[in-house]
Amino acid sequence: MKKMKLKHQSGKPLEINIKGQIIGRGHFTMIAGPCTIENYDDLYAVAAELKKMGINFFRGGAYKMRTSPYNFQGLGKKGLEYMKKVSDEIGLISVSEVISVEDVEMMKNYVGILQVGTRNMSNYRLLLKLGKVKNPIILKRGFSNTIEEWLLAAEHIIEAGNPNVILCERGIRTYETYTRYTLDISAIPAVKKLSNLPIIVDPSHSSGRREMIKSLSWAAIAAGADGLLIETHFSPDNTICDSKQTIDLNILKEIISGKDTLLNLWNKK
Ligand code: PEP
Ligand code: MN
């Protein structure tokens, strides 16, 4: 049977304009910030440093999908209030994960870009709901999903009415245990061939290892990624979630200092 052409497989590559910042093929988008929102002061301090470095997109989780029920689950709505206040004051576009259908209506007013985490890529009711909002959506690849399943998940959002989907490769499960997951670099050129959607890479959750973030970030840009999503904090060892993979501001500066050389290969801004 001939495969159906998906909506995001025809037309020009998608460019998403959010508050004057363009996400798409000809551009490069850096998103950084803590794994989770812990308190207002720390969030503000990280955000202020990122802004100084020229970063415009700020991540932070208020609702966390933790593997263990005994781990910190996030500050919830209070965290979103902090996120909105900090982002508005400093002038950043916020990114935060939405984990359930019931939260979408509330969250769309607090957050610039809504993220779907790896564990929810196949939550089609959630995707349908996200098709009804105006916020761009970062759709992470399910860690056990094929590229085709991921592209179809994006189609659920688009078909429901929201064309502004950004795909995020965040590592898949393989037999390797040294890293948390295995970053599928080949997903980048594959997505660029198979879809018009922007593709960004999360080296943090894929490796789970701070010392690898610079290499994987540069590898992702060299492979043509349209952006990076990196867990960053001024004091990673003192964070309560994902500290082993969170980089400090100096490493982020190093990543940024090398990125233009690689971006030139792709004529990206
Ligand atoms: C995250 O980005 O905060 C996150 C939990 O990522 P993932 O869904 O890829 O594990
Ligand atoms: Mn995390």
Tokens representing residue 59 in the block: 């991540």
* Whether pLDDT at 133 is above 60: yes
End-to-end CA distance of the chain: 41
What does the chain come to in residues?
Answer: 269
CA distances (Å), origin 87, targets 8, 62, 68, 80, 230: 30, 14, 30, 10, 17
- Regarding the beta carbon of 93 and ligand 1, being less than 6 Å apart is answered no
Is 268 within the bounds of a domain?
Answer: no
Report the CATH number at residue 118.
Answer: 3.20.20.70
Q: How many domains does the chain have?
A: 1
Could you tell me the distance, in angstroms and rounded to a whole number, from the CA of residue 242 to the centre of ligand 2? Answer: 5
pLDDT of 4: 85
* Dihedral, CA of residue 27, residue 94, residue 167 and residue 136, to nearest 10: -90
Atom 10 in ligand 1: which residue has the minimum CA distance? 118
Closest ligand 1 atom to Cα of 117: 8
- pLDDT tens for 43-55 read 999 999 999 999 9
Asked whether residue 2 is domain-assigned, the answer is no
Paired tokens of 178: 């040294």
Question: Does any domain span residue 1?
Answer: no
Domain for residue 94, yes or no? yes
What is the rounded average pLDDT for all residues in the chain?
97
Alpha-carbon 257 to chain mean position: 21
Other residues' Cβ atoms within 10 Å of the Cβ of residue 51: 15
Phi then psi dihedrals of residue 243, to 5 deg? -65, -30
Residue 269 within any structural domain of the chain:
no
Q: Which amino acid is at 188?
A: I
Q: How far is CA 190 from the centre of its chain?
A: 18
Say if residue 1's pLDDT is above 60. no
pLDDT confidence band for 206 (50 / 70 / 90): very high
Ligand closest to the CA atom of residue 66: 1
Per-residue pLDDT at 80: 98
Q: Tell me which of 67, 140, 239, 245 to substitute to probe ligand 1's pocket, judged by most ligand atoms within 8 Å of the beta carbon.
A: 140
Query: 158 near 5, Cβ under 8 Å?
Result: no
**Most ligand 1 atoms within 8 A of CB, residue of 57, 202, 245 to mutate:** 202
Write out the residue range of the structural domain in which residue 147 sits.
7-263
Q: What percentage of residues in the chain have a pLDDT greater than 90?
A: 96
Instruction: Tell me how far the alpha carbon of residue 87 lies from the centroid of ligand 2, in angstroms.
Output: 19
